[in-house]
């Protein structure tokens, strides 16, 4: 699993560096974007900017393991800030918080119920200048209230979105 995360991180950095030569000097922004989020929990993500710096990100995800499955809707409020690295425009870093609500089911006992969580997020956001593509790489720690109370730090994910 650690090897997959390292590979994922290297792919996103390579894409950002490869796109550096084709970047225009003007500010690259987008208002909305929809696509997939890939990581521990895979799903669909929709990001909408309220202002130049504030965005909301809705994620519908599914997560399963040997003992239970979870279907959850997450809402995150994010603060975006420009990041200047080697004259790359369209690169931002962001942080935020939110929560999740969904349902879970244990496979062995058929017990089911509501899944609740508080979530944080910190990451990098990159909008390609030559295509309507937005890439985000982030870490989303989660404090699960149900079904298994505790804090999880394994929420690294890559979002690939179509921006408009």
Look at residue 11 and give its three-state secondary structure.
helix
49 in a domain, yes or no? yes
No. of helices (H) and no. of strands (E), the chain: 1, 10
| pLDDT of amino acid 24 | 36
Choose between 64 and 12: higher pLDDT.
64
| pLDDT tens, position by position, 75-95 | 999 999 998 887 788 899 999
Domain that holds residue 140: 2-19+36-163
Number of structural domains (the chain) is 1
93 in a domain, yes or no? yes
CA distances from 151 to 43, 136, 141 (A): 21, 23, 7
* CB atoms near residue 111 (< 10 Å): 11
Closest Cα to residue 119, out of 93, 154, 81, 91? 154
31 in a domain, yes or no? no
| pLDDT tens, position by position, 121-154 | 999 999 998 899 999 999 999 999 987 789 988 8
28 in a domain, yes or no? no
146 in a domain, yes or no? yes
CB-based contact 92:84 (threshold 8 Å): no
In the block, residue with structure tokens 């030569």: 21
* CB atoms near residue 109 (< 10 Å): 9
Backbone angles phi, psi at 17, to 5 degrees: -70, -40
9 in a domain, yes or no? yes
94 in a domain, yes or no? yes
55 in a domain, yes or no? yes
Backbone angles phi, psi at 7, to 5 degrees: -65, -45
CATH number of domain containing 103: 2.40.160.20
């Amino acid at each position: 699993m650690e090897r997959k995360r390292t590979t994922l991180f290297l792919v996103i950095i390579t894409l950002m560096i490869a796109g550096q030569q084709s970047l225009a000097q003007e500010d690259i922004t987008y208002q909305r974007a929809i696509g997939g989020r890939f990581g521990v929990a895979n799903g669909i993500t929709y990001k909408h900017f309220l202002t130049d710096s504030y965005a909301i990100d809705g994620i519908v995800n599914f997560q399963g393991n040997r003992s239970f499955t979870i279907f959850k809707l997450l809402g995150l409020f994010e603060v975006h800030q420009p990041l200047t690295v080697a004259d790359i425009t369209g690169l931002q870093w962001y942080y935020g918080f939110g929560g999740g609500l969904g349902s879970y089911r244990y496979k062995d006992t058929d017990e089911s119920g509501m899944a609740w969580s508080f979530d944080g997020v910190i990451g990098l956001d990159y909008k390609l200048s030559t295509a309507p593509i937005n890439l985000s790489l982030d870490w989303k720690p989660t404090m699960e209230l149900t079904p298994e109370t505790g804090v999880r730090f394994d929420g690294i994910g890559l979002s690939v979105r179509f921006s408009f």
